[in-house]
């Protein structure tokens, strides 16, 4: 007892001191980055439901490193690389987040739960009222996904890895998770972490892009008179059933995601309020919270300091930038095609971070013109973006798996 030293007692500090300089600096940086994400989430600059648990998990995992029985440094949170069945059963009883990761995260279930909740929030009537306009914008807003795939291959990444990181351009977190799980298990953790981190940053970064590229008088174009045809609940339900069946028929590899999305839509349009609340609140908020928490504790310095992660960081940022530029380009095409009646910032909503990008463009329009209403058109592009990103991910998986 009298031989216990300070470092034996405070093992988080001991492992920090004993680590290589790059790991030590990385751990300190990630702890501070976690603090920053919590602050930005609490101030609503970034998405709080995702960023607050992610930031706290990032700080805790890099602080709570200890010496395990083998003498190796590790934590009691998660071992994402555990695959041996016997070792996995043992670690499930020790690492407290391991059951959540193993049973819901590493098999894509949590992505499906999030998609069910998103489906309940989607009013497909916005797409049905303006199908051409919505899909046109969505296709342009996938430009980042299409452009980054060959760039990633040129940088030496395998086709599956390149496709996984390229899907970040669709700004659809569950899609990034599902695609990387199918095509790049070796990079599943860093790709998913980078993807979700950047999805949160779109919340704060895209408004500046809109201000730089779209003059204020154009941002303020009001589209409240463009109501479109009224779509009944029955029509929406038929759309959900037909679209789900057709997409599952064409792309069985992504059928779990298509089914999860459209079962949420079907529940909403069937008037099943108790199930809508279950999926749209309990499932969605619970899954998103644990998704953020799990992603945070996966941000251990030894995992993220792999040199390939720098490529992922740069490619993810490039994919989201090109997608935003593509969406704005599609918006400008419709702006001129309609005799300057279409608000081009709706193009950003085609980047399918539902409903964040739709809310961003409405907010930017309102700042330029308090009477401007573009949310219905933005939501149409937003929902089309979800469907389009799922189709592109399914194509990648079908061809490269």
Q: 381: pLDDT confidence band, cut at 50, 70 and 90?
A: very high
Per-residue confidence (pLDDT) for residue 310, from 0 to 100 = 79
The whole-angstrom separation of Cα 50 and Cα 193 is 12
Q: How far is CA 308 from the centre of its chain?
A: 20
Strand bridging mode 73-74 / 66-67:
antiparallel
226: helix, coil or strand? coil
| pLDDT tens-place string over residues 359-376 | 999 999 999 999 999 999
Which residues share a beta bridge with 57? none
Query: Residues 107, 110, 111, 113: is their CA dihedral positive or negative?
Result: positive
Query: Residues 127, 128, 134, 138: is their CA dihedral positive or negative?
Result: positive
- Given a cut of 90, whether residue 120 has pLDDT beyond it is yes
231: helix, coil or strand? coil
Report residue 364 as tokens. Answer: 């930017």
pTM equals 0.87
Residue 274, class by beta-carbon neighbours within 10 Å (0-12 exposed, 13-18 middle, 19+ buried)?
exposed
Calculate the average pLDDT of the chain: 89
The answer to whether the beta carbons of residues 202 and 320 sit under 8 Å apart is yes
Q: Mean pLDDT, to the nearest integer, of 96-110?
A: 86
Q: Residue 254: left (phi > 0), alpha (psi -120 to 50), or beta?
A: alpha
Question: Half-sphere exposure of residue 358, counting CA atoms within 13 Å on the CB side?
Answer: 25
Query: Residues 230, 233, 234, 240: is their CA dihedral positive or negative?
Result: positive
Q: 203: pLDDT confidence band, cut at 50, 70 and 90?
A: low
Lowest-confidence region among 2-11, 26-35, 341-350, 380-389: 2-11
Helix (H) or strand (E) holding 66, with range, is strand 66-67
- Given a cut of 80, whether residue 256 has pLDDT beyond it is yes
Q: Mean pLDDT, to the nearest integer, of 108-135?
A: 92
């Amino acid at each position: 007892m009298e031989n216990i030293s300070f470092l034996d007692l405070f093992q988080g500090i001991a492992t920090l001191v004993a680590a290589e300089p790059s790991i030590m600096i990385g751990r300190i940086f990630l702890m501070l980055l976690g603090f920053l994400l919590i602050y930005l989430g609490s101030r609503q600059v970034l998405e709080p439901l995702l960023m607050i648990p992610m930031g706290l998990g990032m700080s805790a995992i890099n602080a709570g490193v200890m010496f395990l029985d083998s003498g190796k440094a590790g934590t009691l949170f998660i071992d994402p690389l555990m695959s041996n069945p016997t070792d996995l059963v043992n670690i499930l009883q020790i690492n407290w987040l391991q059951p959540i990761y193993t049973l819901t995260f590493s098999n894509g279930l949590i992505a499906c739960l999030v998609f069910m909740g998103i489906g309940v929030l989607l009013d497909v009537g916005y797409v049905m009222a303006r199908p051409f306009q919505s899909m046109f914008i969505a296709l342009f807003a996938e430009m980042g996904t299409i452009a980054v795939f060959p760039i990633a291959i040129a940088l030496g990444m395998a086709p599956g890895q390149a496709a996984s990181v390229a899907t970040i351009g669709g700004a659809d977190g569950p899609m990034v998770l599902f695609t990387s799980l199918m095509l790049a298990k070796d990079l599943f953790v860093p790709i998913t972490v980078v993807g979700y981190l950047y999805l949160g940053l779109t919340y704060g970064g895209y408004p500046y892009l809109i201000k730089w590229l779209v003059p204020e008088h154009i941002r303020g174009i009001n589209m409240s008179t463009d109501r479109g045809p009224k779509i009944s609940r029955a029509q929406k339900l038929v759309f959900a059933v037909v679209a789900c069946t057709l997409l599952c028929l064409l792309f069985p590899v992504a059928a779990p995601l298509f089914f999860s999305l459209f079962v949420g839509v079907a529940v909403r349009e069937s008037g099943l309020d108790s199930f809508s609340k279950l999926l749209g609140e309990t499932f969605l908020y619970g899954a998103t919270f644990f998704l953020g928490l799990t992603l945070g504790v996966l941000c251990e310095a030894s995992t993220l300091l792999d040199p390939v992660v720098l490529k992922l960081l740069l490619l993810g940022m490039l994919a989201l930038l090109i997608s935003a530029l593509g969406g704005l380009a599609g918006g400008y095409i419709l702006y001129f095609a309609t005799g300057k009646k279409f608000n081009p910032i709706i193009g950003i909503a085609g980047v399918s971070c539902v409903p964040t990008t739709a809310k961003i463009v409405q907010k930017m329009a309102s700042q330029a013109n308090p009477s401007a209403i573009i949310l219905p058109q933005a939501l149409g592009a937003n929902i089309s973006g979800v469907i389009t990103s799922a189709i592109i991910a399914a194509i990648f998986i079908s061809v490269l798996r």
